[in-house]
Chains A and B, each alone.
Chain A
Amino acid sequence: MAGSLIVIGVFLSLIATFGVIRLPDVYTRNHAASKSATLGVMSVLLGTFLYFFLTEGHFNSRLILGIGFVFLTSPVAGHLLSRAAYYSGVKLWDKSVQDDLKEQKKKFSKR
């Protein structure tokens, strides 16, 4: 039970690293890194929590807190990285078809 959660978490983190290597531009890489790494880390933490709870009867509330904290902050970090990349002018992948933020950015930089 705990072991399988840890294996799932490690597998998701591995997928995240492959995504960071394979995907074409900053935004898709950030997409891979922030999503699957978050779920991977949360699974590993939950597996660790369950291991200590089931085998040693030790309720470690810090791991629960860590799960909640990673869940709250990691997507926000991804959002801020993406936004900083967009506003500093990093190009989208050349096969992307739609950029709805472009108008907004033009208005933004004129002010």
Chain B
Amino acid sequence: MKSNDIILQTITKVTLFVIILFSIHLFFAGHYYPGGGFIGGLMTSGAIVLLLLAYDLKTVAKILPVDFKIVAAVGLLFAVGTGAGSLLFNVPFLTHAFGDMNIPLLGETSLHTATLFDLGVYLVVIGVTMTIIQTIGESE
């Protein structure tokens, strides 16, 4: 049955950007405020689920041609990589480093390698959630 979903689809187009922006904000705020990779990743996958509700699986696969299993694998690689990177500097596994750096556009920013670990968590959460939901959605 083909139904008329124009209200849902229009409001999805508007709110999708708000949700993704808020999830990125939660991801970057994680060090000093409540937030972080887990909840940011969940919110991003929530935005993709909203897209799946408003459109169908094939359209979303065309918009986002990403294999989410690979996303989860890349996230794990990030997490292990930041852990193993500390071994190069002769410190224990998962020792993190931070420093204040002067980036041309952003000015004085404090950068921390824990953000890269968090990016790994973020990608794993997106990958696992979307793989589960797409697998359940595809099975008839």
Q: Give residues in A with beta carbon < 8 Å to B.
A: 62, 65, 68-69, 72-73, 76, 79-80, 87, 108, 111
Contacts and interface: CB of A to CB of B under 8 A. Distances in A.
A66 to B, nearest CB: 9
Contacts, number: 20
Interface residues of B, number: 9
Interface stretch (B8-16, B82-90, B101-109): B8-16
Contact of A72 (B1, B3, B14, B22): B14
B11 A73 contact: yes
20 contacts: A62-B22, A65-B18, A65-B22, A68-B18, A69-B15, A69-B18, A72-B11, A72-B14, A72-B15, A73-B11, A73-B15, A76-B7, A76-B8, A76-B11, A79-B7, A80-B7, A80-B8, A87-B3, A108-B1, A111-B1
Interface of B: 1, 3, 7-8, 11, 14-15, 18, 22
Given A69-B18, A73-B11, A108-B1, 7 more contacts: A65-B18, A65-B22, A72-B11, A72-B15, A73-B15, A76-B11, A79-B7
Nearest to B11: A76
Contacts of B11: 72-73, 76
Closest CB pairs A-B (n = 6) = A76-B11, A79-B7, A72-B15, A76-B7, A73-B15, A69-B18
